[in-house]
Amino acid sequence: MSKPGSRRSTFDLCFFTATSLLPVRSAALFFLAFAGITIASLNDAGAQAQTPPTLTLSNPHTSGLVEGQSTRLPITASENPTSSLPVTLQFTRTGDFMNPFRLNCLKGDGTGKAACPYEVDLFDYDPDDWIIIFRTKDDDIDEPDGTLTVVIEYGEGLTSNSVTVDIRDNDPTVVSLARVSSEVISDGGAAAFTVSLGRALVAGEVIDVPLAISGTGVSADGYTLSVTSGTGAALSGTNTLTPNLRFSGAGAQTATLVLRPAAASTVEGYRIALGPDGDGANGFDRAGLGTNVGGGADPHGTENSFHVWKDLGHPSVTITG
Ligand SMILES: [Ca+2]
Ligand SMILES: [Ca+2]
Ligand SMILES: [Ca+2]
């Protein structure tokens, strides 16, 4: 496929290189380059203008990339160009997985989206090496999954097919549990607590939070559990001791719940906890949960359980000093 008589060059058109230039909180790095550049010969450059060939982008990584991985998108032409073939690579992204080392227009704009063109003359390169390389960086930031879309514009209003690479985050969303009411449930009262995600969800995201209610004499029909506030928060399995709190959709992040003992309950203490990490019993990663965020969800290392005590009206003894 190489053009006869063309001269090879080691000139490397790397847009993004030094990772040391990344800001500390930079998300995954996109790296794109044309590999193995060939400079067209003067003989080729003198050829007559022609109808542009049909350009096709392929995506060998259609299952998507996990942040930290790379992929190569070859560009193929219906026939090799014999004269200048200026094209514009149009990049559009969602998520902050790219480093704007050269292409500043790919920099995060605060809304999670950006677009920018990159102009290049494909005739300057060996068609065997028409490859766009994307490299993403494995960071420690829990973030929504993203995409990078590429389409080639050329000639008089011509475009290639559009290729979208999905980028999957691999950092877990951490779930925290916190009691917000008194440790003692007054007669007829309830225990209030919050369940919070480390970040707000975006449209289409779901996290199922397994809860566990336990304590001596505790049974599922001896109390009620309900959500009193929280965008996109809904309970299920409230007739069991392992209910599930689902967060779903844009803006879902924090829910306030109350556990209210039945009036006749004689249970004195309740332990409210998040399910354990992993795929064991009631675990965060077990099959059947609807959690679909990149990296899954993890219970917080310490903010994952608390106790409350029911005031049963027994006389109290106060020891003073
Ligand atoms: Ca990561
Ligand atoms: Ca990440
Ligand atoms: Ca994540």
Distance of CA 262 to CAs 58, 184, 240, Å? 62, 15, 15
Indicate which CATH number applies to the domain containing 13: 2.60.40.10
Query: What integer pLDDT is reported at residue 42 of this predicted model?
Result: 34
Residue 193 domain boundaries: 173-310
* 295 Cα: distance to centroid of ligand 1 (angstroms): 8
Query: What integer pLDDT is reported at residue 66 of this predicted model?
Result: 92
Residues 144 and 238 in one domain: no
* 308 Cα: distance to centroid of ligand 1 (angstroms): 36
* 143 Cα: distance to centroid of ligand 3 (angstroms): 5
Residues 238 and 201 in one domain: yes
195, part of any domain: yes
Number of residues assigned to the chain: 321
28, part of any domain: yes
318, part of any domain: no
Residues 12 and 150 in one domain: yes
**pLDDT band per the 50, 70, 90 thresholds, residue 36:** very low
Residues 13 and 135 in one domain: yes
Residues 190 and 106 in one domain: no
Q: Which ligand is the nearest neighbour of the Cα of 27?
A: 2
Q: Which ligand is the nearest neighbour of the Cα of 141?
A: 2
Q: Are 210 and 195 in contact (CB under 8 A)?
A: no
Q: Name the residue among 179, 236, 245, 172 with its Cα closest to residue 210.
A: 245
Among left, alpha and beta (phi > 0; psi -120 to 50; other), residue 175 is: beta
Q: Which ligand is the nearest neighbour of the Cα of 296?
A: 3
73, part of any domain: yes
Amino acid at 182: S
Is pLDDT at 2 greater than 60 in this prediction?
Answer: no
Amino acid at 233: A
319, part of any domain: no
Among left, alpha and beta (phi > 0; psi -120 to 50; other), residue 110 is: left
Number of domains in the chain: 2
* 301 Cα: distance to centroid of ligand 2 (angstroms): 19
Cα distance between residue 123 and residue 55, in whole Å: 13
Cα distance between residue 101 and residue 177, in whole Å: 40
Is pLDDT at 39 greater than 90 in this prediction?
Answer: no
**pLDDT band per the 50, 70, 90 thresholds, residue 144:** very high
Cα distance between residue 98 and residue 100, in whole Å: 6
**pLDDT band per the 50, 70, 90 thresholds, residue 107:** low
Residue 3, CA atoms < 13 Å, CB-side half-sphere: 28
Residues 185 and 266 in one domain: yes
Indicate which CATH number applies to the domain containing 214: 2.60.40
Looking at every residue in the chain, the average pLDDT score rounds to: 81
The predicted model gives 67-92 an average pLDDT of: 90
**37-74 burial, b for 16+ CB within 10 Å, e for fewer?**
bbbbeeebeeeeeeebbebebebebeebbbbbbebbbe
The predicted model gives 249-264 an average pLDDT of: 96
More confident residue, 153 or 33: 153
* 145 Cα: distance to centroid of ligand 3 (angstroms): 8
**pLDDT band per the 50, 70, 90 thresholds, residue 95:** confident
Among the ranges given (27-36, 254-263, 295-304), the one the predictor scored with the smallest mean pLDDT: 27-36
Query: What integer pLDDT is reported at residue 213 of this predicted model?
Result: 98
Q: Are 76 and 56 in contact (CB under 8 A)?
A: yes
230, part of any domain: yes
* 171 Cα: distance to centroid of ligand 2 (angstroms): 5
Contacts of 286-290 with C-beta under 8 Å, sequence gap 24+, read: 286/210, 289/208, 289/210, 289/244, 290/206, 290/208, 290/246, 290/248
Residues 108 and 177 in one domain: no
What percent of the chain is modeled with pLDDT above 90?
57
* 301 Cα: distance to centroid of ligand 1 (angstroms): 18
Query: What integer pLDDT is reported at residue 43 of this predicted model?
Result: 39
Q: What is the pLDDT of residues 169-209, one digit of tens each?
A: 999 999 999 999 899 999 889 999 999 999 999 999 999 99
50, part of any domain: yes
More confident residue, 31 or 17: 31
* 277 Cα: distance to centroid of ligand 2 (angstroms): 19
Q: Name the residue among 42, 49, 34 with its Cα closest to residue 5.
A: 42
* 220 Cα: distance to centroid of ligand 3 (angstroms): 32
Q: Which residue, of 168, 201, 229, is where some domain finishes?
A: 168
Among the ranges given (58-67, 141-150, 298-307, 312-321), the one the predictor scored with the smallest mean pLDDT: 312-321
Q: Which residue, of 142, 168, 194, is where some domain finishes?
A: 168
Query: What integer pLDDT is reported at residue 129 of this predicted model?
Result: 84
More confident residue, 71 or 306: 306
Amino acid at 96: D
Q: Which residue, of 139, 168, 197, is where some domain finishes?
A: 168
Query: What integer pLDDT is reported at residue 206 of this predicted model?
Result: 98
